Structures are given as C-alpha cells and as structure tokens.
Amino acid sequence: MAIIYDQETRVFHLQSKNTSYAFQILKQGYPAHIYWGKKVRGLQLNRLLQIKERASFSPNPDQNQLDLSLDALPQEYPSYGATDFRSPAYQVKLPNGSTILELTYHSHEIYNGKKKLEGLPAVYVESDSEAQTLELTLKDDLTGLTAVLSYTVFEDHDAITRSVKFINSGEMTLDLQRALSMSVDFVHDRFEMLQLSGAWARERYVHKRKLEPGMQSVESRRGSSSHMQNPFLALLSVGATEDHGDVYGVNLVYSGSFIAGVEVDQYHSSRLFIGINPFDFNWKLEAGAQFQTPEAVMVFSPDGLGGMSRIYHELYRTRLVRGEFRDKTRPILVNNWEATYFNFNADKIEAIATAGKELGIEMFVLDDGWFGKRNADTTSLGDWFVDRNKLPNGLEDLVARVKRLDMQFGLWFEPEMISPESELYKAHPDWCLHVEGRRRSQGRNQLILDFSRQDVRDYIVKTVSDILSSAPITYVKWDMNRNMTEIGSALLPADRQRETAHRYMLGLYEVLETITTSFPHILFESCSGGGGRFDPGMLYYMPQTWTSDNTDAVSRLKIQYGTSIVYPISTMGAHVSAIPNHQVGRKASLETRGNVALSGNFGYELDLTVFTEEEKEAVKKQVELYKEVRHLVQFGDFYRLLSPFEGNETAWMFVSKDKSEAFVVYVSVLQEANQKLDRLRLKGLDPNFDYVLDGEEGAFGGDELMHAGIQAPLFHGDYSSKVFRFRAVK
C-alpha cells in the first residue's frame, strides 16, 4: 500500500496490493487520469498521457497550448461548459445564473488512515496502518468554491474509495446542482457493461451489453436505491469471464436516488461515473457551508467477475458491516408472515415458536400486525404501541413465552412510513412528505414520514426505542414499502425544497446510527419490499438485508446469484417458504427450497405447526446441516460455478479461508428425457490438498476437483438439487 507523489512529473500513483491508479496534474491545474489496472511499478506512467491537437470542434482552454482540449483529455473530476462537452462530475449555478466553473489543482495532503464521512455511511479502518488517503484540493478562483477529492487505498483489499467535499470558501451563495462521487476516463471503449436490474420480486438480475457511442446508464429517481436498479456498474474487458479478464466495478455507499453510467465519446474513450442523481436535486451552498458526497467504492480485478466479487465481499464483510454481528454467525429463524399474515394471537405465535424449537430453530420473528389496530395494510403505521386485542398481555408476555423455549425473539417495524388512518397522522398531518395543495398519493395505503425533520426523527427514535427496551428483543426487521412521490417538506423554504430527498437520507442515517448504537445487541435486518434497498449504505447500519419478498427457490437462484456479484452472502436473508409459493405458485420440493435457502442467512417463513412427521425430520436435517456449514456460508470465500442466466443448472460453492472445507450447492430447474452426462468443476480449493466427500469413500485431489471435476448429478423431476460437503484430509 502506498500513495506516491512525484514532484517532477506531478504524478500521483496509488498502489494497493495488486492494483495501481494514477493521474497527473497538468500545468494548467487539470487532474488528468493516466491508468487504473493491475499493479505496476510506475517508472514512466507520465508518458502514457497523450495530448494531441484535435479538430476545431474541440476548443482549447489555453491558447498557448492548442493541442490541449478538455473535450479529449482523460480527467479525474471534469466540469462542463469550458471546452468539455461530455457529462460532467459537478455543476454549480452562480448568482448570475451561469453554470460555468473550473476546479483546478490547489494543494494536496497524504496521510495514513481514513476519516469518517460526516453524516454518511462509508467503508472504515480500525487502525491507521490499514489504509492511506490522498486529499486533493481543487479550487475555482472566481467563486472561491473548493472541492476536496478523497482517495483511500487499502492495505489488505484491492479497493479504492472516492468521495468529494465541496466547501464554499467565497462570499456568494451557490447552488450545487450536480455532485458525483467519482468519475474516471478510460482511453478506449473495448468493454461490456454489467448492471444489476429488475423489479419487485425479481431484484438484481444480471444484464450485460457491449458499450456503444453515447450514454448508457442506470439510475433511480425513486428516493431509494430501488428494486429496479442497483447503485453498481462494472466494465468488463472484451472476453472477460467469471474467472478471467479485467473487471472494473463501482458501487455507491448510498441508499437514495443515484445515477451510474458510461459515456463513450467521439474518440471512443469511456467516462465511468457514479453518484447522487442530479435529477430534481439542488443544494444551496451558502458562504462557509459544505456538502459531502457519498462514497464510491472502486474495485479492479484481473481475475474476472468472480475475482471482483470476492474483493467486494471481503471488504464489505469486514470494513463496511459494523458491530458485534459482523463476526458472529447469524441465528436460524422462523418468521410468521406467510404463516399468519395479520391474523394471529399470542397462542398461535407460541405454537409456531414451539414447533420451531423442536426442529432446532433458534429465533422467532413476529412480523407485521402487532401494533395499533393493524388488521390490514390500511392502517396504524406510525402508531408504535402494542395491539392489546391481539396481545392482551402485551409484547412482554409474548416475548417471555418465546424466551421460555430458549429461543430468541425478533420484531418487525416499518418506522419510515405513516398510515393516513392512524393516530399519528390525525395528530400530525404535516409530518409526511407532501407538497401543499397537491394530492398526497398513497402506495400500499401509506405515506412517507419526513425524516428531514428533527421532530419526526426524535419521535421515531423514542417510540422504536421504547418498544425495544420493553422486552429482551434481539432482532429487528426494518421494512420500507414505499418510494417517494410529491417530494416536499413543510419546514424547508422554497429555495431548499429540492434538498428534501437527500436530507431525508441524512435524517434516516442519523436515526439508524442512534438506534443501532443504542441497541448493540440487536441484530438489525434491512428490508424494502424485500430487496428494494439492498445497498452498501444500509449495510453500514444493518449487517443483513431481506434479499427479496420472492421466496420461491427457483426465482431465488437468479436473485441470489445476481446479488452475489457485489454483496457478501452474509448480508443475504434466505428462507424456506410454503408451497404453492405465494409469489409465483411453484411447487418445489422441501429439499430444494432448503438447499437454496442454505446459501444465505437461513430461516423459515411458513406455518411449522402443519408439518407432517416426514417434513419435520427433513427440516431437522436442514437445520442441523446449516449449523455445521454456516461458518462457511457466512464467512467463507464464495465462487459461482454455473449461472442461472446462462443455462438450466445453477451451482455455487463456499470455501473456508484455509481451504480445508467446501460446501457446494447444485440445482437443476427443468428435466428432460435421456439426459446428458456432465461434470461439475469446482473452484477455490488447494490443488495440493486431498478432500473427502461426505457420503462417499476415497479422496479426491484438489487439483482433480477443480480441473477434472466431479460427476454432475442426474435427477428425475423438475426443481431438483443436491449439496456436497468436502473436507481436506488431515
């Protein structure tokens, strides 16, 4: 790990264990990008930067250097309107109505460690020796606006984080209209772009396309990172695969509206960028004020998509997720939602918990319907007090019943929402996001509380904390089932209304920081209609996310596979649910439902009291198996073997850090007569180790398993699966 500055060439060279990133300060003060890729010594990196005179339609910012045009220069943090016609990283409106601004080099500082981002989640270090940071200060002389570009390089992770702090050091009030977290220019366009897109119940599907001239981007304008898109993009070199080829990934540590994209220009260079979505965004920056962008996490791997994924997994698992559950195995739980929906009482809940205890399950989670007058999704959000009609002896009694079974107890909340039919709304109708005189559109019969308001945040912190303090609750599922419309705040003046969505996110992060810090022994799981807010910003506060409301095992193959492109398996909630499946109506076997759900934070979401004896025995074995392998699933290295987006079979595996154990999951969706005979090649093992397979005699060489493979299983019947456990021979 090193950040080297060559005073003679004015080149900054950032080096991680296996990655180099370099840029140069030109004499005019423009930071020009040189290289990002496999680690090099960097003896002559400055010679890579070509500055060549272009046609007259690429104007020149410096009449003394006619071969320089910003329209063709690879840049680090570009502007618009001063000879660069490409998409800018920032845009600022001045009091005179113009948006012309040029940030150029002013100074820099290199130091060990990494500072926290004020009010925002970010990757962290536990000691200054883990990372080095470059703060590059750019300044616009006319307005006095400065931008501090932060680059952090990690000792043990091949990742670079970038963010920007804008400081109004001048006297005039400015309007910040675009403030991306990073931008980087490649000198060619020989890439494929990979994105994770979908919808509710089919989140984070893998989509890949060849770059073309012009703009290609993904974005959310929904006030959340969304089911539809994810704040992530990857560029893959032509021909790159799961295991080979150069891959560049960018991921935004933010949970609100974002934009990520690539622009290919007339010279076939590619500009990759990510940040807060500038659509409907404006931030009033008064004299002396500051604005901090979210953090972008940049990863390069020469070892294909799988190599990039494992870098993200390890970094996020160890230096994004926080708290005591970061390094603890997660409990096996049963959730009552699909078993009872709103129709339950204390006796029914105790019966499900009792059945779970008999099967080896460790936690019961009470889902929606325990508060206010919540017998349907039309009422009571915001009324965070126990419904005594359902639970006449209160939540304390129910928790005590579950605890007597030697099980932990968890609880569902949706604190960011308010029902128009609620006591809270009748008392405070102005507490929701709204625009005076406009319709208050409802989604799922609810509105959104205005978390930009301190009084709203204080109310939520108090009411949620009171419930969590009332009983020994050890798990919280924090749901959010509505995207933003009519975005406005009753307390913000007219010239700050377009700050509302971002102020909401800052307010949410403040609430999450307060509550999760106050209750460090509670495991928090984020949810937004399942995976509608599966992003690094939420993982900073809550170490796991409900991956999707779609619990169908076959659907989950694509959902979990796509999610694994960026996010660690330890962050994914995965449950066995009833059949026919409530989302798609499919009837998969209990074995396959279990085998797919084993690849995550395992649990059940059905009525355990109606199981047959045969089903009970099967579940006992699933629970026992997960207890034996969850250290691999949650903390091992993950390898994708067969993609559900490319064929009928899906396979992935988990390998312990010391290569002594492996757990493999194989699923075949549809069967055909007279099946082909195939082999499954494993990954990540030690080629010099010998491994035994549970249930079979003899040993396999690690090299044999990876290069020759094992016989792929044959099945009779659709939606079939098998798991394999390998252990090194001591």
Looking at the annotation, which residues are catalytic? 479, 549
Nearest CA-CA partner of 279 in 259, 255, 253, 251:
259
Q: Which residues, at least 6 apart from 131, have a Cβ–Cβ distance to it below 8 Å?
A: 1, 112, 113, 114, 125, 152, 153, 154, 155
User: How far, in Å, CA of 377 to CA of 379, rounded?
Assistant: 6
Residue 362, class by beta-carbon neighbours within 10 Å (0-12 exposed, 13-18 middle, 19+ buried)?
middle
User: How far, in Å, CA of 161 to CA of 291, rounded?
Assistant: 18
Q: Which residues, at least 6 apart from 624, have a Cβ–Cβ distance to it below 8 Å?
A: 360
Query: Is the separation of the CB atoms in 338 and 365 below 8 Å?
Result: no
DSSP secondary structure letter of residue 29 = S
Q: Which residue has the tokens 């799961």?
A: 242
User: How far, in Å, CA of 299 to CA of 159, rounded?
Assistant: 5
Helix axes 613-635, 590-597, angle to 10 degrees: 20
Alpha helices in 528-685 (DSSP H): 536-539, 553-563, 590-597, 613-635
Query: Is the separation of the CB atoms in 625 and 695 below 8 Å?
Result: no
User: How far, in Å, CA of 624 to CA of 362, rounded?
Assistant: 11
User: How far, in Å, CA of 545 to CA of 524, rounded?
Assistant: 9
Q: In Å, how far are 78, 601, 651 from 633, measured between CA atoms?
A: 42, 8, 14
User: How far, in Å, CA of 472 to CA of 462, rounded?
Assistant: 17
DSSP secondary structure letter of residue 638 = E
Please give the angle made by the CA atoms of 257, 525 and 417, to the nearest 5 degrees: 55
Query: Is the separation of the CB atoms in 685 and 705 below 8 Å?
Result: yes
Query: Is the separation of the CB atoms in 181 and 292 below 8 Å?
Result: no
b/e per residue 278-307 (b: at least 16 CB within 10 A): beebbbbbeeeeebbbbbbbbbbbbbbbbb
User: How far, in Å, CA of 581 to CA of 570, rounded?
Assistant: 24
Structure tokens, 488: 């406005």
Question: Is the backbone peptide bond immediately before 580 cis, with ω within 30 degrees of 0?
Answer: yes
User: How far, in Å, CA of 581 to CA of 550, rounded?
Assistant: 9
* H, E, C per residue of 117-143: CCCCCCCCCCCHHHEEEEEEEEECCCC
Nearest CA-CA partner of 487 in 416, 419, 433:
433
Query: Is the separation of the CB atoms in 190 and 203 below 8 Å?
Result: no
Sign of the torsion formed by the C-alpha atoms of 313, 133, 322 and 514: negative
CA 219, 190, 562, 537: dihedral to nearest 10 degrees?
Answer: -50
Find how far residue 166's CA is from the centre of its chain.
Answer: 25
Give the containing element (helix H, strand E) for 468: helix 454-469
User: How far, in Å, CA of 206 to CA of 218, rounded?
Assistant: 13
Nearest CA-CA partner of 583 in 609, 567, 559:
559
User: How far, in Å, CA of 533 to CA of 513, rounded?
Assistant: 17
